[in-house]
Structure 1
Amino acid sequence: MRILLLCHNFNSLSQRLHVELRRAGHEVTVELDVHDDFTREAVALFSPDLVIAPFLKRPIPADVWRGTLCLIVHPGIRGDRGPSALDWAILDGEATWGVTLIEAREEMDAGPVWAWAEFPMRPTRKSSLYRHEVTQAAVACVFEAIGRIERREGAALPANWGRGWERPACRRSDRILDPTRHSAEEALRIIRASDGDPGAPLTIAGQTFLVFDAERAEGVPGPAGALIGRSQHALAMAFREGALWIGHLRRPDFRSLKLPALRLLGAEASDLPIIEGPKPCRYREENGVGLLEFRFHNGAMSSEDCDTLREAITRAKARSLPVLVLRGDADCWSNGIHLGIIEGADSAADESWRNINAMNDLVCEIIETDDRLVIAAVLGNAGAGGVFLSLAADEVWMREGVILNPHYKDMGNLYGSEYWTYLLPARVGEDRARRVTQARLPMGVDEALELGLATRRLPGNVESADWQLLRAAAELAASPDLARRIAAKRARRAGDEAEKPLAAYREEELRRMRRNFYGFDPSYHVARYNFIRKTPKSRTPVTLAVHRANADHSDRRSTMR
């Protein structure tokens, strides 16, 4: 089937559908919803059998949906209508929620229903629900609808009915935090419902900020509204009952930057007492396995974050266990350097240089671990340098449903480092390495296993993945063959080092990166600015828009004639 994905941006759900539909043998192309005329042109060029809209912010043109079946993914239960479905579900404390696949009509969210799925709600951030439950339900709905189309069955229901109802967009006033009125639990629910976008307004030290990335702070009492401590880059604030750790803030100004809370608040919080708070890295031992869990907000890793994880690995290596598992967060394993902090720095070039060197130090620490096997447990999506961070381990165990973007080029043709010129060809071969870095398309676990970017598949359910991860790691630690494997690893690394030192790979990569950061071509800095400040796209990249790439090729052939 020829399927056009029409989306506001190519987000995690759109990428997952792109991967799953192509894996199922469908011909898939993408058009970003930039302008109605571009949408019409995409339909004319591609002649799709089906248009799927995983993420839209405005209606599909009527002449498009009248001429081609258009199905819209709505992150709400049957009968739910409105643009803030998931926000309201969290705010209202819904026990179950769902996804509905609705045929496009003039009235939003009111067309015939082709498929639906429901799931129990977790007490977590909106973005986490979206990456897991919503995405999984949406994929199931899309494939159910495709089955109905292939069987010529038509829509499942004539209209969008159910226990949901139409609700307006969630307003700023619905999200305002008041520490004297809200308990910590109530405030946490509002912050979770506002996660990602637009954030929850809160007054701190007389200034209004938008709050993200919060969790309960236990045993740290104080008067409501008071800042009562700091830990790492997080701040603790007291509410009517209880307190919260606030990880990230953003000023309410247009296109302002979301940054770690302490970094943004600055002098107003620098004198706060340091107290026990959230830890980005946690280490434990079980059945002969060292398990190092880490979490960095949205997978972005600043210079300090890289140092923190590297130091945690160094401490773990002081323990004489034969297997070390690096278990990243189930939402994001890593997306490489922290573009937000780089964008907010006095010198973006200097901070970029500092950050990539810190990332390289981290990767080198893993590569040079020669007395044990290191497992990268990739349970969340990974991009750019985060993918190559995982390849520094001996094996990559990946959860079903994870999406990888193992390339840098969309960030202004950034060359990339993290020893990728050593790690990637050694793992997949020179030809496949070129394919991986040039394709600029997301990939799933099947392709990662086929290419050699992953070595083991874990179940899609996070709890099941964790259980299987620990069981398999314990079996590896008890394997009679383990000592031989570690010795072979040590010999292989020594041979590689003798042939070409790691320092040479690093020097060559950084020579190219220096030109990206400090050279005359500003592409990286422009791309980073647009990405961080969410500048709307003016066109769809031809790497995604297959229909446009083919049209351009045909135009060139006509011109040559």
Structure 2
Amino acid sequence: MNKSLPLVFFGTENFSLPSLEALISGGYNVAAVVTRPDSRRGRGQRINEPAVKKLAQAAGIKLIQPLVFDDDLLKKLASLRPEAGVLVAYGKIIPQKVLRQFKTGIINAHPSLLPKYRGPSPIESAILNGDRTTGITIMRLSESMDAGPIYAQKTYGLSGNETRPALYGELAKLAADLLLEYLPAILGGKIQPVAQNEVAASYCKLLSRVDGIINPKRETAEQIERKVRAYLGYPKTRLRLLSHPVVITRAHPAGLPAESPLVIKCANNTFLAIDELIAPSGRRVSGADFLRGYRPL
């Protein structure tokens, strides 16, 4: 396989970084990086640059940030004469007119064992559903969401204690490793992808802040504890304690109501011990410190 063949990398999130770093350090000819436009976030509406943008600029790689997939983008891609694209966490469905620009297609690393968890929140879904395994799928991108044929998969075992940020990091590294392992054979035409089993396909949704609001009267302690781990960082697990709005950052199901200083009763007569939370002040505190510092409103 000739590493000098031009590749185009599509990626936006931090999850993309290890894969782009691996391609660069592996000696591949990354002719361009396509990433989403800068956005504004936070109260001050500060400009937020995609994670891969800074890496591409530091490596001297051509940067493309299209607002839409228009003729201008197609001309830029055509001028590169790319052999293939590599896509990791770009955050937007790639239309057929873009896919046609690549001789070998666009090769995608997706953080689930497809066809399970097609969609934008597979890592959170694996934690939320108490799965014992997850993994990475290397596939050829199609216009339908995460439905392309599969080149390879790698399983990653779960202990039941993972948080979203930690698992996100581990799977990002696994995606990079698996791309480097299989990319030579894919580009060299030595392996062909196998169609997914459509009957077994399942889907996960785009998360919003509303998903983080918990209801102890309807959710068990185990369900809420999984939410705390799955939604750590975003959308965050939110609750009102003593009439104060808080974000739960660490908790565990309690066998007895008196097991920990701060315990709430949940559905099916289960109890959740809140070990750590973000108080209204914005500080992370223990459950015991929260009880000492905040009175019922």
TM-score (norm 2): 0.69
Q: Residue 217 and residue 42 in structure 1: after superposition, are their counterparts in 2 closer, same or farther (change >3 A)?
A: farther
SS at match of 1:60: coil
Please list, as runs of the form range in 1=range in 2, the aligned pairs for 1:493-532 lying within 5 A after superposition.
Answer: none
- Deviation at residue 55 of structure 1 after TM alignment: 0.7
Letter in 1 for 2:264: A
Q: Which residue of 1 aligns with 2:20?
A: 18
- Deviation at residue 93 of structure 1 after TM alignment: 1.0
Q: Which residue of 1 aligns with 2:51?
A: none
Q: Distance in 2 between matches of 1:259 and 1:49?
A: 49
CA contact (8 A) 1:78 1:100 kept: yes
CA contact (8 A) 1:222 1:238 kept: no
Q: Which residue of 2 aligns with 1:238?
A: 264
Q: Distance in 1 between matches of 2:197 and 2:181?
A: 18
Q: In the alignment, does 2:36 pair up with 1:33?
A: yes
Q: Distance in 1 between matches of 2:203 and 2:77?
A: 32
- Deviation at residue 203 of structure 1 after TM alignment: 2.6
Match of 1:129 among 167, 183, 195: 167
Q: Residue 70 and residue 245 in structure 1: after superposition, are their counterparts in 2 closer, same or farther (change >3 A)?
A: same
- Deviation at residue 271 of structure 1 after TM alignment: 4.0
Letter in 2 for 1:7: G
Please list, as runs of the form range in 1=range in 2, the aligned pairs for 1:141-540 lying within 5 A after superposition.
Answer: 141-157=178-194, 159-161=195-197, 164-169=200-205, 175-206=212-243, 208-209=245-246, 211=247, 213-216=249-252, 221=257, 236-240=262-266, 241-248=271-278, 259-261=282-284, 270-271=293-294
Q: In the alignment, does 2:130 pair up with 1:93?
A: yes
Q: Which residue of 2 aligns with 1:388?
A: none
CA contact (8 A) 2:253 2:272 kept: yes
Q: Which residue of 1 aligns with 2:108?
A: 72
Higher helix share: 1
Q: Which residue of 2 aligns with 1:310?
A: none
Q: Residue 205 and residue 53 in structure 1: after superposition, are their counterparts in 2 closer, same or farther (change >3 A)?
A: farther
1:54-90 CA-partner distances (Å, limit 9, x unpaired): 1122111321111212122221112122222222211
Q: Which residue of 1 aligns with 2:56?
A: none
Q: Distance in 2 between matches of 1:91 and 1:33?
A: 28
Q: Which residue of 2 aligns with 1:529?
A: none
Letter in 2 for 1:5: F
Q: Distance in 1 between matches of 2:155 and 2:256?
A: 38
1:445-485 CA-partner distances (Å, limit 9, x unpaired): xxxxxxxxxxxxxxxxxxxxxxxxxxxxxxxxxxxxxxxxx
Q: Which residue of 1 aligns with 2:85?
A: 51
Q: Which has the higher contact order (CA 8 A, sep 6+)?
A: 2
Q: Residue 53 and residue 259 in structure 1: after superposition, are their counterparts in 2 closer, same or farther (change >3 A)?
A: farther
SS at match of 1:67: coil
Q: In the alignment, does 2:10 pair up with 1:6?
A: yes
- Deviation at residue 267 of structure 1 after TM alignment: 9.8
Q: Residue 23 and residue 8 in structure 1: after superposition, are their counterparts in 2 closer, same or farther (change >3 A)?
A: closer
- Deviation at residue 95 of structure 1 after TM alignment: 0.9
Q: Residue 259 and residue 54 in structure 1: after superposition, are their counterparts in 2 closer, same or farther (change >3 A)?
A: farther
CA contact (8 A) 2:19 2:173 kept: no
Q: Residue 194 and residue 50 in structure 1: after superposition, are their counterparts in 2 closer, same or farther (change >3 A)?
A: same
Q: Residue 269 and residue 57 in structure 1: after superposition, are their counterparts in 2 closer, same or farther (change >3 A)?
A: farther
Q: In the alignment, does 2:121 pair up with 1:84?
A: yes
CA contact (8 A) 1:77 1:164 kept: no
- Deviation at residue 126 of structure 1 after TM alignment: 1.3
1:306-335 CA-partner distances (Å, limit 9, x unpaired): xxxxxxxxxxxxxxxxxxxxxxxxxxxxxx
- Deviation at residue 7 of structure 1 after TM alignment: 1.5
Q: Distance in 2 between matches of 1:6 and 1:249?
A: 38
Match of 1:63 among 91, 94, 97: 97
Q: Residue 249 and residue 108 in structure 1: after superposition, are their counterparts in 2 closer, same or farther (change >3 A)?
A: farther
Q: Residue 59 and residue 246 in structure 1: after superposition, are their counterparts in 2 closer, same or farther (change >3 A)?
A: same
Aligned identity (percent) is 22
Q: Residue 83 and residue 14 in structure 1: after superposition, are their counterparts in 2 closer, same or farther (change >3 A)?
A: closer
Letter in 1 for 2:165: S
Q: Which residue of 1 aligns with 2:150?
A: 113
In terms of Rg, which structure is larger? 1
Letter in 1 for 2:151: W
Higher strand share: 2
- Deviation at residue 118 of structure 1 after TM alignment: 1.0
SS at match of 2:112: coil
CA contact (8 A) 2:126 2:134 kept: yes
SS at match of 2:100: helix
- Deviation at residue 26 of structure 1 after TM alignment: 0.9
- Deviation at residue 153 of structure 1 after TM alignment: 2.5
- Deviation at residue 169 of structure 1 after TM alignment: 0.8
Q: Distance in 2 between matches of 1:130 and 1:124?
A: 10
Q: Residue 17 and residue 39 in structure 1: after superposition, are their counterparts in 2 closer, same or farther (change >3 A)?
A: farther
Structure 1 residue runs without a partner (length 5+): 230-235, 251-257, 273-561
Q: Distance in 1 between matches of 2:114 and 2:153?
A: 7
- Deviation at residue 131 of structure 1 after TM alignment: 0.4
- Deviation at residue 108 of structure 1 after TM alignment: 0.8
Q: Distance in 2 between matches of 1:93 and 1:221?
A: 24
- Deviation at residue 220 of structure 1 after TM alignment: 9.3
Q: Distance in 2 between matches of 1:5 and 1:269?
A: 52
